[in-house]
Amino acid sequence: MTDQFGDFEPDDQYDPSPADPFQVALRLHKYRVELDLEPEINWNSLSDHEIDKRVKAIELLLNWLRASGSRV
């Protein structure tokens, strides 16, 4: 796994497959740390319960976006 999110090559930037909630949650965690919205905590040091809660929140958000007509 890399810390890059998405494909930046012009020919294949669009990926029609659904977003992976785990990867989205991981990236959101990283953004929150970078913006000082959350203390710097290594994702791997979080408990399974904490990770599950974060991924579940992203799943709910992605499902809501899809139900609203978004292509995520």
Residue 34 in any domain: the answer is yes
Q: Is residue 9 part of a domain?
A: no
Rounded Cα distance, 1 and 11, in Å: 22
From CA 16, how far away is CA 32, in angstroms rounded?
26
Q: Which of 50, 29, 47 is nearest to 38 (CA)?
A: 29
Q: Tell me, yes or no, whether 61 lies in a domain.
A: yes
7 pLDDT band (50/70/90 cuts)? low
Which position has the higher pLDDT, 27 or 71? Answer: 27
Residue 47 lies in domain: 17-67
Q: What is the pTM of this model?
A: 0.65
Radius of gyration of the chain (CA): 14
Could you tell me which residue, 16 or 60, shows the higher pLDDT?
A: 60
Which pLDDT score, from 0 to 100, does residue 60 have? 93
Nearest to 3 by CA among 38, 28, 37, 21: 28
What digits encode the pLDDT tens for the residues 15-59?
667 888 999 998 888 888 889 888 888 888 889 999 999 999 999
Domain count, the chain: 1
